[in-house]
Structure 1
Amino acid sequence: MSTGALEGLRVLEIGTLIAGPFAGRLLGDQGADVVKIEAPDRPDPLRTWGQAHEAGRGFFWTVHARNKRCVTLDLRQPRGQEMFLQLVAGADVVVESFRPGTLERWGLGYDVLSDVNPGLVLARVSGYGQTGPLAAQPGYASVAEARAGLRFVTGFPGQAPVRMALSIGDSLAGMFACQGILTALVARARTGQGQVVDAALTDSCLAVTESMVPDYSRAGLVRQPSGTRLDAIAPSNSYETADGTFVIIAANQDTLFRRLCGAMDRPELADDERYATHTARAKHQDELDALIGAWAKALPPEDVVARCSAAGVVVGPVATVAEVVTDEQFLARDMLVPHHDLGVGADVLGPGVTPQLSATPGSVRWAGPPRPGTHNAEVYGELLGLTADDLTELAEQGVV
């Protein structure tokens, strides 16, 4: 049985933390053979990340390193570089997330890698990309989100910008890197040549800023933070219900707004000149939110959701993770799946595979391996023909 559409694709993942390894995870989810390389003396810090810990482990790693075979190799040593080039010769993709110039200092730039394997796709994920005046600077998602304008429009007017409690910039860069890898592989199928995929955290954040740039370019409009809503898109907001929890109601199209008015037993609002059109609602957004807010506040959340759903209005609860893990929609689509974590000897629930393919679906086959070098014997024996004695000697030298 196929393990996914990318079965047979060999990926080498080097570098640490979130964005590059997220690209590797996405490829592994769809069946690629992802070999994650960690330095023998410096394992990926993500092994201990996460807000909950058990047996010295954080659970970020459990999900983020799933479907990967983990080996150790010191790319700073000549013998380690030699072994890496041997692995590159049989690989399709290398994903790296070092600061630009690091591979070149080690003598492992793309010119060297492509000499060994002309069809190789090298995905380089960094804070600012491989070019430009800031290329050599270290970069994290938080700064990338800020520099690209995402942070400025978060939070409430007059208050300090806030962040989501997630590293969105890293996830965006990982997804764009994965998109670039697949695009480069399609091109390779035509030309036979590999290439470099240059994915920057800053670029990835800028790419999802909707109309912010053209609005400023043509109208000088600097989009401002707008709290729980989008300014001029009405109604689309979070509304408190009778028990103090919130629901999202999005009825900013004229047809949807008319349906919402019916669900609220206020059909006359749909023909009120202040609310009848998208443009009019934008001008009267505050009073419209007050009307809808008063209606929602008088009802329990399940009633708000039921009435809106029955009327064909876009609606949904603002869920905590405790509610997410019991969500019937996610469960029906296998988007909550167990990862058997050998480090704690138990199943750990995590997100499933997306997107879902009809003929060659991806899967979660194992959780992130509990220790660096878990697959040294398997990978180096299979790919390089090394014996147990060879690996013992290499370990004594600090190469693996």
Structure 2
Amino acid sequence: MKVKDGPLSDLRVIELGHVIAAPMCGALLSDFGAEVIKIERPGQGDMLRVLSARAKDGVGVWWKTLARNKRLVALDWKTDEGREVLRRLIENAQVLIENFRPGVLERAGLAPEVMHEWNPDLVIVRISGYGQTGPRSSWPGFGRAGEAMSGLAHMTGFADNAPMHPGFPAADSTTGLMAAYGAMMALHAVHNGSARGQVVDLAIFEPLLRLIDYHVPTRTGAGLPVDRNGLQAPNAYAPAGVFRAGDGKWVTVSAGSAATGRRLLEAAGGQEWAEQPQFQSLDGFADHTEEIVDRLGAFVAQHDAQKAIDIFKSHDAVAAMVYDVDDILADPQIAARGDIVGVEGDDTRVVGPVPKLDKTPGRLRWLGRGELGADSRAVLEELGFDPEQIAALVDKGTVGEPDS
């Protein structure tokens, strides 16, 4: 099962992570060929295994997608024997990913300095709630705290109601993405000789803070607050909104300039409305937001969603259906892009590798498997352990195998 293809097929990645952020990083690298060896605690496994609905075969669907393409080793790396196994893995790896609270690895005798003695070129990706430094570094961190600290929750929702979190683990997932990006930069530094192995230090709130991006310069440069604004962006100047169509579906519309805004108005209310003097600049749109939203909403409500979208499209205005998951699975554009993939013999479908590389595309090779320690024996054999040594490690509980 060892990976032999993909642009990252020369990488061996050790994943000491659990739940979402670090496993997402490992999954993204595995999509493009990296050999990701996921380490779990014998007899227990990653909590992610039980954090979602179960597929027909009893395996958690979230586990299937975040443990995709990974080799599974059950190892108690806090024991002397387990530390020796981990040392051999690290000596033969290029990247290690972990998302424990700062200090956990150090207390286990696995500080970055130790791992760099074993492998000076190792890239160590460290994900934590608040980072490895700073006054809160020792605090336990979790995704919703990251969403709150980044400003995302404060900016999401309606002005007269509570802040809102998104409907998916935005902080954890974006941290996994940024961690993979950081690993690639650090590996490039190794390859071009500008630095040997280094630590990528990532706090869970930081990726969203960086991706939101505009709220800090808006406040510091323009002196403006950045507050919740319902279905429009904070400090919005151009019209936008989400409206319910006559068939019960929802349609989202937006404009990024006065010209594109006028096209929305023309589609919904005719050329005379769109050409009124107040709509010749973005300031005029901001001053008449309530009127615009009311008329756009009334227009969409008169039509089935697709009909309203077709009318907007005929005026070169931006509108789109708000998809539920069944819409996603049925959409021809998503199908044409190959964005939903699966493996033979398993009904579970997952989102495929992104982005698209035309010469070395990513690939789903297998979904996360239910057997804890499914690859323990094979990986240890590759590290040079003989059958008697492996049997002894299994007997001690240092290494786990399926049904052991």
TM-score tier, shorter chain, comes to over 0.9
The residue number in structure 1 matching 2:187 is 185
C-alpha separation in 2, matches of 1:386 and 1:210? 49
Residue matched to 1:324: 328
Q: Distance in 1 between matches of 2:117 and 2:168?
A: 39
205, 210, 216: which one aligns with 2:208: 205
What secondary structure does 1:83 align onto?
Answer: helix
| CA contact 1:48–1:59 (8 Å) conserved in 2 | no
Write the distance in 2 (CA, Å) between the matches of 1:40 and 1:233.
Answer: 55
Distance in 1 (alpha carbons) for counterparts of 2:225 and 2:52: 36
1:310 aligns with 2:314: yes
Q: How far apart, in 2, do the equivalents of 1:123 and 1:376 lie?
A: 23
1:195 and 2:194 matched: no
Is 2:60 the partner of 1:48?
Answer: no
Structure 1 residue 295 displacement after superposition: 1.0
Residue 376 (structure 1) aligned with residue 380 (structure 2)? no
**Corresponding letter in the other structure for 2:275:** D
2:279 alignment counterpart:
275
Q: What is the match of residue 12 of structure 1?
A: 14
Deviation at 1:54, TM superposition (A): 4.2
Residues 227-238 of structure 1 mapped to structure 2, 5 A cutoff: 227-231=230-234, 232-238=236-242
1:158 CA drift (Å): 1.7
Partner residue, 1:348 = 348
Larger mean CA deviation between 147-156 and 167-176 belongs to: 147-156
Residue 309 of structure 2 contacts residue 320 of structure 2 at CA under 8 Å; is this kept in 1?
yes
Q: Distance in 2 between matches of 1:55 and 1:86?
A: 34
SS in 1 for 2:126: strand
In the other structure, the counterpart of 1:390 is 389
Q: 2:79 aligns with which of 71, 77, 80?
A: 77
For 1:5, the aligned partner's letter is P
* 1:46-86 alpha-carbon deviations (Å, 9 max, x no partner): 01121455454321000011010000111110111111111
Q: Secondary structure at the match of 2:173?
A: helix
- Which moves more between the two structures, 350-359 or 207-216? 207-216
What stretches of structure 2 of length at least 5 have no aligned partner? 400-404
156-165 or 173-182, which deviates more: 156-165
When the two structures are superposed, what TM-score results if normalisation uses the length of structure 1? Answer: 0.94
Indicate the larger mover: 27-36 or 202-211.
202-211
Deviations 1:84-138 (A, max 9, x none): 1111111000001111111111111110111111111000011111101111111
Corresponding position of 1:155 = 157
* CA displacement at 1:162 relative to structure 2: 1.8
Q: Which runs of 5+ in 1 are unaligned?
A: none
Please state whether the residue corresponding to 2:39 is helix, strand or coil. strand
2 CA distance for matches of 1:248 and 1:210?
Answer: 23
Answer yes or no: is the 8 Å Cα contact 1:252–1:278 preserved in 2: no
Under a length normalisation based on structure 2, what TM-score does the superposition of the two structures give? Answer: 0.94
Contact 1:130 1:198 in 2 (8 A): yes
Q: Deviations over 1:257-287 (max 9, x none)?
A: 2333443361123321222222211121111
Cα deviation code 1:127-169 (max 9, x no counterpart): 1111011111111100111122111111212212222221000
- Taking the aligned partners of 1:243 and 1:316, their CA distance within structure 2 comes to 15
Q: Answer yes or no: is 1:249 the counterpart of 2:253.
A: yes
Structure 1 range deviating more: 249-258 or 48-57 = 48-57
RMSD over equivalenced CA pairs, Å: 1.7
Instruction: State how far apart, in whole Å, the 2-side matches of 1:52 and 1:79 are.
Output: 34
Would you say the 8 A contact 2:238–2:258 is kept in 1?
no
Q: Match of 2:402?
A: none
TM-superposition CA deviations, 1:304-361 (whole Å, max 9, x none): 1112223322221011111111111111111011145xxxx63201101101111100
Distance in structure 1 (CA, Å) of the matches to 2:124 and 2:247: 52
Post-superposition Cα deviations, 1:177-221, rounded to whole Å, max 9, x if no partner, equal 111000011111122611100111011221122321122224443
Distance in 1 (CA, whole Å) between partners of 2:397 and 2:63 is 24
Match of 2:218 in 1: 215
Q: 2:72, 2:139 → 1: CA distance? A: 28
Distance in 2, matches of 1:52 and 1:374, equals: 19
Residue 69 of structure 2: aligned partner: 67
Aligned partner of 1:349: which letter?
Answer: R
